[in-house]
Chain A
Amino acid sequence: MAEIILPPALEGVELVRSVRTPARMEYTYTAGVATTRFLRGLADGRILGERAPGGKVYVPSRGADPQLGVPTTEQVDLPHTGTLVSFCIVNVAFYGQGMEIPYTSGLILLDGSDLPLMHLIQECPVEAVHIGMRVEAVWVDEADLGPTLESIRYFRPNGEPDAPVAQPGAGVTW
């Protein structure tokens, strides 16, 4: 880029190099029918998956089976236990973070579900967290249940022997 020519009035003046342009917008988010069912389920102490006829069980469901492209119409009351299929140990502080670091974020495949659910893993030293670990949900007190995933405080190891976890992509064909 060629050098710009400033008018005499700006010679020797400290030039602006950056400018703040903050933006904030307020919306009203509609959960939709399927997500509402899931959230209301949590308020009742239940974890509800959904499936379309002939389809897999998804939790949480957004209302569509992503393979079939049709609405999920059946609710499935899932057990509160599952297998850890992946995890991440967070060591970096970030804006808005509430947890003490390091902490573990995990993908939990609840028994009977085809889609893992993301949540916190606690009551387990981070070095001991491993794929295949069996975990169970720890809920808030009944009086504090609400239509939010925070009704579950976290998942913790439940002492069962490890379960086998399929390699990602294993057996997937089309």
Chain B
Amino acid sequence: MVRDVAVIAFAQMPNVRGETVLNEVEMLMPVIQDARQRAGLDQQQIGFTCSGSTDYLSGQAFSFVSTLDGVGPWPPIQESHVEMDGAWALYEAWVKLQLGDVDTALVYCYGKSAPGPLHEVLSRQLDPYHVAPLWPDAISLAALQARAMLDAGKATEADFAEVVARSRRNALNNPNAQLAWDRHESDLLAEEPLVDPLRKHDCPPITDGASAVILAAGDRARELCDRPSWIRGIDHRIEPMALGLRDLTVSTSTRSAGEKAGVSAGPVDVAELHAPFSPQELILREALGLGDHGNVNPSGGPLAANPVMVAGLTRIGEVAQRIMNGTASRGVAHATSGPCLQQNLVIVLEGDG
């Protein structure tokens, strides 16, 4: 018997190229306070706290765990954290709530990509014997995937540019977006490639950011929120690490996660997809059966702001927010991790009535 769990609050900080004044704890505290305030809860009333980040972004051991200072974990709290995007911290919190001993959870995540050599840092997650010693950057890996899409006839460079133009135009309506502009596709296609076939604008910006979500179960959600964003389905699948073992033009793990989360069990009013590189949005649309759905990444998506360790939870928050404020009834959010969409989490959210 699955317990009904909902997102009842979402908060994020404005996404910036580099937060050079505040340290991670100072940066994160207002976001956590905002989320709790929106839910009308203080820390002592929250049953479980789970967070996502990684010490490798800051280069300091225990930097992630030390952000608990900003939570105010006293009296002692039930807490866990994952070396992943906050979307996975949310998944763990959802599982915890299923056990029935707590009714609310705080999920937070943050990442400062600016202080370190982000591309070198991300390469540390690759095969340590055969791939990491070559230090391939994330743009190069995504470019391999983009070339595979072009060779397979599944997309053109113009299709990539369309994703870019639409995402950054949508971002003009998002006060938290880092990169927002209105440029025509032909203008974008005239630019020189960065790592062929990707152009700079096909790639996400480097972002420092943080976001937080409050989850609540059953009646507790109804007490705290007029219109909870219920989690109707959640699933996570992973593909092999080696790029050669995968078909880079399809995301079989996203398709599988989407089926198990029940994406097609109802209409999708809004979708927020964690596609840091423009060709990946096309791959994810196909995997989730979204086709040419007209309301993908209204926030601008990761092309507008891509705080590593945060962008996935923010996708979930953006869908949940639209359900909570009544502009959508049912939506899909997706989070990814690993090179070229290696592992994917899909979540289906729905409001009452």
A and B touch in the complex (CB under 8 A): yes
**A95 located at the interface, meaning its Cβ lies under 8 Å from any Cβ of chain B in the complex:** no
Q: Are A70 and B115 closer than 8 Å at their CB atoms?
A: no
Q: Are A26 and B70 closer than 8 Å at their CB atoms?
A: no
Contacts of A33 in B (CB 8 A): 21-23, 26
Contacts of B121 in A (CB 8 A): 25
Contacts of B43 in A (CB 8 A): 69
- The answer for the CA separation of A71 and B32 in the assembled complex, in Å, is 12
Which of B73-81, B162-170, B217-225, B266-274 lies at the interface? B73-81
- Tell me how far the C-beta of A38 lies from the nearest C-beta in chain B, rounded to whole angstroms: 12
Given A25-B120, A66-B69, A31 and B23 contact (CB-CB distance below 8 Å)? yes
Q: Are A21 and B128 closer than 8 Å at their CB atoms?
A: yes
**B71 located at the interface, meaning its Cβ lies under 8 Å from any Cβ of chain A in the complex:** yes
Contact mask B41-71 → A, CB, 8 Å, 1/0? 0010000000000000011100000101111
Q: State the B residues within 8 Å of A (CB).
A: 19-26, 29, 32-33, 43, 58-60, 66, 68-76, 112, 115-117, 120-121, 124, 128-129, 132-133
**A65 located at the interface, meaning its Cβ lies under 8 Å from any Cβ of chain B in the complex:** yes
Q: Are B66 and A27 closer than 8 Å at their CB atoms?
A: no
- The answer for the CA separation of A174 and B74 in the assembled complex, in Å, is 8
**A32 located at the interface, meaning its Cβ lies under 8 Å from any Cβ of chain B in the complex:** yes
Q: Are A69 and B72 closer than 8 Å at their CB atoms?
A: yes
Given A28-B115, A69-B70, A21 and B129 contact (CB-CB distance below 8 Å)? yes
**A97 located at the interface, meaning its Cβ lies under 8 Å from any Cβ of chain B in the complex:** no
- Tell me how far the C-beta of B104 lies from the nearest C-beta in chain A, rounded to whole angstroms: 16
Q: Are A64 and B69 closer than 8 Å at their CB atoms?
A: yes
- The answer for the CA separation of A35 and B60 in the assembled complex, in Å, is 15
Q: Are A68 and B72 closer than 8 Å at their CB atoms?
A: yes
Q: What are 6 residue pairs bridging A and B, where the CB atoms are less than 8 Å apart in the complex?
A: A21-B132, A25-B116, A30-B23, A30-B115, A32-B21, A64-B69
- Tell me how far the C-beta of A1 lies from the nearest C-beta in chain B, rounded to whole angstroms: 17
Q: Are B26 and A71 closer than 8 Å at their CB atoms?
A: yes
Contacts of B21 in A (CB 8 A): 30, 32-33
Q: Are A66 and B58 closer than 8 Å at their CB atoms?
A: no
